[in-house]
Structure 1
Amino acid sequence: MLSADDLELFVTVGSSASLAAAARTLGITPPAVSQRLTHIERKLALRLVERSNRGLKLTSDGELLFKRANEILLQFTRMEDELAQRGGKNAGVLRVVAPLGFGRTYVVGLVIDYHAAHPDVRVDLNLSDRPGIGLATACDILIQIGELRDSEQVATVVAPNRRLLCAAPAYLDRYGAPSMPADLRDHRCIALRENDEDVTLWRFENARGERINVRIEPVLSSNDGAATKALALAGAGITVRSEWDVAEDIAARRLVPLLPGWKLPDADITAILGRRGERAARVDDFLGLLRRSLRPVPWRQRGGQVAG
């Protein structure tokens, strides 16, 4: 029989791009994750995960366990909520998931402030390199950047955020700047692999509503936003980054926004939550604190409104 610890581990594995990523989330070593995962598979006499050099993929049995485990863990949380409410406490566990870079910059400090105000609430913060919609059922608040996919969860935009095409002055001095989106096919581009998106298809729209999709062939790519920005700052190529991440660099001229007549799809900061009737008070308290922390929008205060 599987334990609650088994279910929590499997949900973390199923929500991660690799065993190493799951290990970072759980605070244990990758061999320990592999050993515990193998133990779960032996208990059930089922193959749950396919492992390869490209990462992890759940089998059909693994997909079923992932779904049911999320449901069971959610029931545990609801039970804790009901018992806490009977005692008149804002207590229990608040599970928050956020992207790595944004989470380190804007969410960690928020968790510190929240816990100081609500010391009876245990906060579980998961900074994920793959914070996709599948994690929403395993947490109370999933902070996501970018386009929302279909979901049964309640979603609310907490701050505006643009995607910006940019490069360092050193790159532009050497290779010049593109004048049209199609010119990017002849430039050195840097791609960020995240959220299972088609990261080599860059979509542009101008003020007249004309749309151009450009399929780039990246010379460099990474699954880490900090790495792609570091490469761009070093003059290695042109990249697409979130406004929250590069506004200060653009204001300081370390990066230059490109194609001012064209814009990429917005990537607003969104909080995805459980259904409204099922939310505990601690969730609404954290959501309110998150909204207040992003008003006025901090990256537009420090970096100024970025032209584009």
Structure 2
Amino acid sequence: MRAVQMKNISAAARSLHLTPAAASHRIMQLENRIGARLLNRTTRALHPTEEGLVFYEHALEVLEAIERAESSIATAGGEPIGALRVTAPIGFGRRILGPLIVQFHERYPKVRVNLRLSDRLIDLLDEAVDIAIRMANPVDSSFIARNLEDCERVLCASPDYLDRKGRPREPGELIDHNCLVLRFPGSPQVRWRLQAPDGVVAVPATGDFDADEGDVLTEWALHGGGIVMKPYWEVAEHIRSGNLEVVLADYPPEPVKLMLMYPHRNLVPAKLRVFIDFMAEQKSLLPDVSHFGGSGKVVRFGT
């Protein structure tokens, strides 16, 4: 099933802590047992055969039945049980969610948490994820989105870079700077949306570096590589220490929402329901960055 969802045997194997050879062997054993080819494999892609699609759909029904059974038992016994698949951005997962998962497991010891960290927007259905924690503004109404907190962001760069390249005074001057961009294969042109007194200004963010992992962008900025857009809480200490300096403080980026996203379903399993409640009860997930001090400052309209 995971190979079909991820369209790649090697990726599916890694997600299940198997070697690609072991995963391929298991698929071959399954095909031999049922007497039909389930997957067509090429060097670039993997596609289920007609028989494979039928098998996959029935397998999904079996897993859903198991999930319903687990949820029923949990409801009757008063204790959630089963595996919960969670995805989150890398920085948030490392710094904030990791310790919370330990607390969650102490409260619900029969819930096994499979945490997948990625700055890529994972397809929850394709990759069989139960719930995602994202820093974004919801656009897909096919999922339930529950807001946890607003997440303000900042443009920043090292003082060394700004001494060499100059300090932009208005958004249009960013075109003359090296913008450090979070980008994935196939992603469109990145535009930074900045708040101006007359409304939002969308500025193309271009430069010599891009990466699919946010912490790399921070390291590039610290080493004088260019200007980066980051959540305040991720770079607050660097700004307080003077290693990074706020850029265009009068034109802060639009904030995004820290939210939970999960698919619509008739029955929300107990393991998912208690995780949603656990995250919602946290008084403040993001560190307090109401002021920076040091060489950086934050200007908010209306304050």
In which range does the TM-score fall when normalised by the shorter chain? 0.7 to 0.9
Q: Percent identity?
A: 31
Tell me the SS of whatever aligns to 2:116. strand
Q: Does 1:10 align with 2:4?
A: yes
**Alpha-carbon spacing, 1:108–1:25, altered in 2? closer, same or farther (3 Å):** farther
**Alpha-carbon spacing, 1:152–1:168, altered in 2? closer, same or farther (3 Å):** same
Based on CA coordinates, which of the two structures has the bigger radius of gyration?
2
**Alpha-carbon spacing, 1:142–1:75, altered in 2? closer, same or farther (3 Å):** farther
1:247-281 superposed Cα distances (whole Å, 9 cap, x missing partner): 22223222112112223232221101243752233
Tell me the SS of whatever aligns to 1:278. coil
Tell me the SS of whatever aligns to 1:282. helix
2:130 aligns with 140
How far apart are residue 127 of structure 1 and its match? 1.9
1:173 aligns with 163
User: Which residue identity is paired with 2:4?
Assistant: F
Q: Does 1:275 align with 2:259?
A: no
1:136–1:272 contact (8 Å) kept in structure 2: no
State the aligned residue count: 291
1:182 aligns with 172
User: Which residue identity is paired with 2:166?
Assistant: G
Distance 2:100 2:145 in 1: 20
1:116-169 superposed Cα distances (whole Å, 9 cap, x missing partner): 111122222222342434358823321111132313221111121123211111
Within 5 Å, give how 1:221-236 maps onto structure 2.
221-236=210-225
1:54 aligns with none
1:70–1:138 contact (8 Å) kept in structure 2: no
Unaligned runs of 5+ in 1: 1-6, 52-56
1:257 aligns with 246
1:95–1:140 contact (8 Å) kept in structure 2: yes
Using the size of structure 1 for normalisation, the TM-score is 0.77
Cα RMSD of the aligned pairs, angstroms, is 3.7
Distance 2:185 2:132 in 1: 13
1:307 aligns with 298
Tell me the SS of whatever aligns to 2:242. coil
Q: Does 1:206 align with 2:205?
A: no
User: Which residue identity is paired with 1:260?
Assistant: A
2:291–2:298 contact (8 Å) kept in structure 1: no
Distance 1:61 1:303 in 2: 57
Tell me the SS of whatever aligns to 2:124. helix
Distance 1:289 1:86 in 2: 20
Distance 2:148 2:135 in 1: 10
Q: Does 1:109 align with 2:99?
A: yes
1:159–1:297 contact (8 Å) kept in structure 2: yes
**Alpha-carbon spacing, 1:218–1:177, altered in 2? closer, same or farther (3 Å):** same
1:122 counterpart (102, 112, 136): 112
1:248–1:299 contact (8 Å) kept in structure 2: no
User: Which residue identity is paired with 1:300?
Assistant: D
Distance 2:68 2:185 in 1: 28
